[in-house]
Amino acid sequence: MITLVQLRMLIERSFSPLACECGVTGDHSLTVKLYHPASGEVDLVVSGLNMTRLQSAEAVANLIEELRYELQCNTLTR
């Protein structure tokens, strides 16, 4: 089982130098926010992710790939 702290660490390592905030709501949905630590400028916020589906290394790797795609699409529109 992957904890929230481990998940945050994996995401931060994958998107360095961006910082990451991860939060879980009462219905076990995850919100991920990627931002610049110095300026606080937010690059991506994704919410409603099902935590019960993020219990394997493969599932976390897939999430990271999806976040990379979303981040890339987000920065292309700037």
* DSSP E strand stretches across the chain: 19-24, 29-35, 42-50
pLDDT at residue 67 above 80? Answer: yes
Mean pLDDT of 45-74: 92
> CA-CA distance, 55 to 60, in Å (whole number)?
7
Mean pLDDT of 43-60: 92
**Predicted pLDDT at 66:** 95
Mean of the per-residue pLDDT values of the chain: 90
Q: What is the pTM assigned to this prediction?
A: 0.85
* Cβ-based neighbour number of residue 15 at 10 Å: 19
Confidence of residue 71 (pLDDT cuts 50, 70, 90): very high
Whether the Cβ atoms of residue 71 and residue 15 lie closer than 8 Å to each other: yes
**Can you give the residue ranges of every domain in the chain?**
4-76
